[in-house]
Chain A
Amino acid sequence: MEAFVRQVAVLLAKDVLVELRAGELIYATLLFSAIVVLLFSFAFLGGSPPTIEVTAGVLWVGLALAGMLGISRSFEREREADTLRALLLSPVSRAALYLAKMLGICLLMIAVCCVVLPALGLLFGLHIERIGLLLGLLALGILGFAAVAALFGASLGRARVRELLLPLLVYPLTVPVLLAGTRGTYAVLYGTEQSLLDAARWLRFLLVFDATALLCGLWLFEPMTAQE
């Protein structure tokens, strides 16, 4: 168990270190997430203040769009240098590799959140009273998204049209995350007693989704990354 945790930590540290030295991915993703929010503000803000429904939607769609950009780039980089194959050949457990990739994606998306949330505050007048609930929704949403994206990102392997396929595969499967996230955020922002109960229900829904996606990921990672 201890060895397993250390494997995950080493793999994650490797990804973080590579990124810190290269820097391209994180800056591009953060810039892109700011641009996405800006684009949404041009699309939705025509004088009248935006409804909280719009704000909740922009938060999650922005997160999904910017996250996907970073995720597909990170796996493309692995493939260019053939490092993913080296990792698959090395004597680390596939589960550790999957978890490390997933946590890496989580870190990237947390960084995206750090840009999108203030930008929403600035441009959309986002004002949060129950920050804890919102952070809970975001954390679970990111986890669910990463659990699916890591599985399919790592299994792209030799597939053609990779950069086209990844969003096509990941977005439909993470619709429940986006749905629960948006509805939950809307309920948090609405802020009445009844809607907070609703938000808690979406939080539980995300928990169930995350557990399912993680189990599926751990179960399918090995056969799906096996090259023909």
Chain B
Amino acid sequence: MSVRRWPTTGLLLLLGLSAAGLMTAPHLILAAPAESTMGFVQRIFYFHVPSAWLAMLGAFTCGGASALFLFRGSERADHIAHAAAELTVLFGLCTIVTGPLWARKAWGVFWQWDVRLTTTLLLWIIFVTYLFARRYGGPGGRQLAAGLALFGAADVPLIYVSVSIWRTIHPKTTVVSTLDPGMRPAFWVSMLTFTVLFLALLHLRLGLEAARARYEALYLEAQDTGLLDE
């Protein structure tokens, strides 16, 4: 088992990029034109949409990795799934906290039983349960969680198309392609920064998981050779 140098150049690059992005994005967001009806509150959009996109990306990553774990028994895939699930919960929380703040101004209420809101909340709950099953499930918990993640990933396309199929009050997906040119730099820099941050966190989390696996293997080895007996 080789010990990798830490932090790796890739991680440093990701962290540097996300730090630079996080410093530039607020200026761009403030410089972007204010939306006529929503005013200042509309700027939540630059935070809300990237969070939602990453929650969905995380769910998808977790689902794919869980399938690899279930069918191939790949340990690394299991680590990826675990890390991605945590990020889904984190960014999902950002989404469902910023959403109601925006909704209070746009619709006058914090929460509406709308299809997209419901499916997003459902996604978040599924991945919280995923973490619960892994944390407290014991030996069989990993398989259960992996099965859950696959169902969770199936929810993602539903969230994405929900605004087009059902009549909902949530803004449609086309809002991005019809964005005011002045808002584009702020929006895309936010998207990019969040995505790089996501990758950096995923990378960090995977390193931690690999270290833990190595520690467990070493512990078992030490136990086998009788080093821990006295």
The answer, among B125, B136, B147, for a CB contact under 8 Å with A160, is B136
Q: Given A169-B144, A224-B147, A226-B143, does the pair A160, B70 have CB atoms closer than 8 Å?
A: no
Task: Check B137 for interface membership: any CB of A closer than 8 A.
Answer: yes
Indicate if the CB atoms of B137 and A151 lie closer than 8 Å: no
Bound complex: CA of A228 vs CA of B137, how far in Å?
13
Indicate if the CB atoms of A169 and B138 lie closer than 8 Å: no
Bound complex: CA of A51 vs CA of B136, how far in Å?
41
Kindly list chain B residues whose C-beta atoms are within 8 Å of the C-beta of A169: 129, 133, 144, 148
The answer, among B140, B147, B154, for a CB contact under 8 Å with A158, is B140
Task: Check A114 for interface membership: any CB of B closer than 8 A.
Answer: no
Indicate if the CB atoms of A173 and B126 lie closer than 8 Å: yes
The secondary structure that dominates the A interface is helix
Q: Given A172-B125, A172-B129, A220-B70, does the pair A156, B140 have CB atoms closer than 8 Å?
A: yes
Kindly list chain B residues whose C-beta atoms are within 8 Å of the C-beta of A151: 147
Task: Check A13 for interface membership: any CB of B closer than 8 A.
Answer: no
Task: Check B56 for interface membership: any CB of A closer than 8 A.
Answer: no
Name B115's closest neighbour in chain A (CB-CB): A179
Indicate if the CB atoms of B138 and A160 lie closer than 8 Å: yes
Bound complex: CA of A161 vs CA of B141, how far in Å?
10
Bound complex: CA of A155 vs CA of B70, how far in Å?
12
Q: Given A158-B138, A169-B148, does the pair A224, B133 have CB atoms closer than 8 Å?
A: no
Kindly list chain B residues whose C-beta atoms are within 8 Å of the C-beta of A86: none
Kindly list chain A residues whose C-beta atoms are within 8 Å of the C-beta of B71: 223
Task: Check B110 for interface membership: any CB of A closer than 8 A.
Answer: no
Bound complex: CA of A216 vs CA of B148, how far in Å?
11
Kindly list chain A residues whose C-beta atoms are within 8 Å of the C-beta of B133: 159, 165, 168-169
The 10 closest A-B pairs by CB, nearest first: A160-B138, A159-B140, A223-B70, A157-B140, A158-B140, A159-B137, A158-B139, A172-B125, A224-B147, A224-B143
Can you list 25 A-B contacts (CB < 8 A)?
Answer: A155-B143, A156-B140, A156-B144, A157-B139, A157-B140, A158-B140, A159-B144, A160-B137, A160-B141, A161-B137, A165-B136, A165-B137, A165-B144, A168-B133, A169-B129, A173-B148, A175-B122, A212-B154, A220-B147, A220-B150, A223-B70, A223-B143, A224-B146, A226-B143, A228-B142
